[in-house]
Structure 1
Amino acid sequence: MDSLILKNQITIFTTTYCPYCTFAKDFLTRNALPFVEIDVTGNTSFREDLVKKTGGRTTVPQIFIGETSIGGYDDLMALSKTNNFEKLLKNAGIMLKNPLD
């Protein structure tokens, strides 16, 4: 799993049936923030690794900015309203092209 979470990208772990995964991807797309999606639908062992990597979180989406786990959709929305969001993006080498929508 560590090889999938790179320090210079946004990584989002999703399932096909999760509306919050869709909301998170829509937010990132709308704001021209590139991301890599990893679908964990039906992959029990991968989900177990993800729970360990996220400190016990069992829900999706799970979003990483660089190597930092930021949580799920609600966490993304809350973080996007702070200066820390831009700092995390900058540390990952990702620049905002426009103000967030």
Structure 2
Amino acid sequence: MAAKVEIYTWSTCPFCIRAKSLLKKKGVDFTEYNIDGDEAARNKMAQRANGRRSLPQIFIDNVHVGGCDDIYALDARGQLDNLLASGNSV
């Protein structure tokens, strides 16, 4: 069973675009929350992301995995595919 992937983004954020590109390259279906200028949505994201307000913020099976650099680091360590395929936590 594939993991549930959620990503909070801004439409013009280069890090958001890069993170989505990696997920798309891997064929991952994800839910995107575009929060351009929506402070209430950003506050909700920050609550889920342990106070982090930078974008993007990525969740796999409701577990916060971090931002763009974090997801690329998981991929470089060979851990991302396993998380995406089975929804195992980090």
Q: State the TM-score bracket (shorter-chain normalisation).
A: 0.7 to 0.9
The two structures have a TM-score, normalised by structure 1, of 0.76
Q: Does 1:64 align with 2:59?
A: yes
Name the aligned partner's letter for residue 85 of structure 1.
L
Number of positions where the alignment pairs a residue of Structure 1 with one of Structure 2: 87
Larger Rg: 1
Q: What residue is the counterpart of 2:75 in the other structure?
A: 80
The two structures have a TM-score, normalised by structure 2, of 0.85
By how many angstroms is 1:16 displaced? Answer: 1.3
Seq. identity, %: 31
**1:22-45 residue CA offsets vs partner (Å, 9 max, x unmatched):** 001111111111111110111111
**Secondary structure at the residue paired with 2:76?**
coil
By how many angstroms is 1:8 displaced? Answer: 3.9
Q: Does 1:13 align with 2:8?
A: yes
Q: Is the 8 A contact 2:28 2:84 kept in 1?
A: no
Name the aligned partner's letter for residue 69 of structure 2.
D
**1:47-88 residue CA offsets vs partner (Å, 9 max, x unmatched):** 011111101111010011111111100000001122432342
Structure 2 residue runs without a partner (length 5+)? none
**Secondary structure at the residue paired with 2:79?**
helix
Structure 1 residue runs without a partner (length 5+)? 1-6, 94-101
**Aligned partner (choices 46, 57, 62) of residue 51 of structure 1:** 46
The two structures, once aligned, show a CA RMSD in angstroms of 1.9
By how many angstroms is 1:92 displaced? Answer: 2.4
**Runs ≥4 residues deviating over 6 A:** none
